[in-house]
């Protein structure tokens, strides 16, 4: 079975360099990789930059919405 990095390199256009890290969990401003190493996330994406990773109130709001209606196509 291919690794995450091998699967990624097969399907993504590599327009920028990538670090050899596979992040598996986030909480607040911290993220963890698949080896258990902890990092301070200085490059949080648009979904995590305002409240950090896994903010309980945001998680609950997403869960409620997903249980109601997740997506409607135009």
pTM of the model: 0.61
- Write the CA distances from 30 to 22, 27, 42, 58, 74, integer angstroms: 14, 5, 9, 17, 36
- Read off φ and ψ for residue 38, nearest 5 degrees: -105, 140
Q: Which two tokens stand for residue 39?
A: 């990092």
Structural domain for 59, as ranges: 21-74
Instruction: Tell whether the model's pLDDT for residue 44 goes beyond 70.
Output: no
Report the length, in residues, of the chain: 74
> What's the total number of domains in the chain?
1
Instruction: Tell whether the model's pLDDT for residue 45 goes beyond 80.
Output: no
- Contact of 28 with 49, CB cutoff 8 Å: no
Mean pLDDT of 35-52: 80
Instruction: Please report the pLDDT score of residue 32 as a whole number.
Output: 95
Q: How many CA atoms lie within 13 A of 34 on its CB side?
A: 6
In a domain, 6, yes or no: no
In a domain, 13, yes or no: no
Instruction: Please report the pLDDT score of residue 49 as a whole number.
Output: 67
Instruction: Tell whether the model's pLDDT for residue 1 goes beyond 80.
Output: yes
């Amino acid at each position: 079975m291919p690794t995450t990095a091998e699967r990624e390199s097969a399907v993504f256009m590599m327009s920028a360099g990538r670090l050899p890290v596979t992040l598996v969990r986030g909480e607040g401003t911290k993220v963890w990789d698949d080896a258990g190493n902890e990092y301070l996330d200085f490059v949080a994406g648009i979904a995590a930059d305002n409240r950090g990773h896994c903010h309980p109130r945001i998680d609950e709001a997403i869960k409620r919405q997903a249980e109601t209606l997740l997506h409607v196509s135009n």
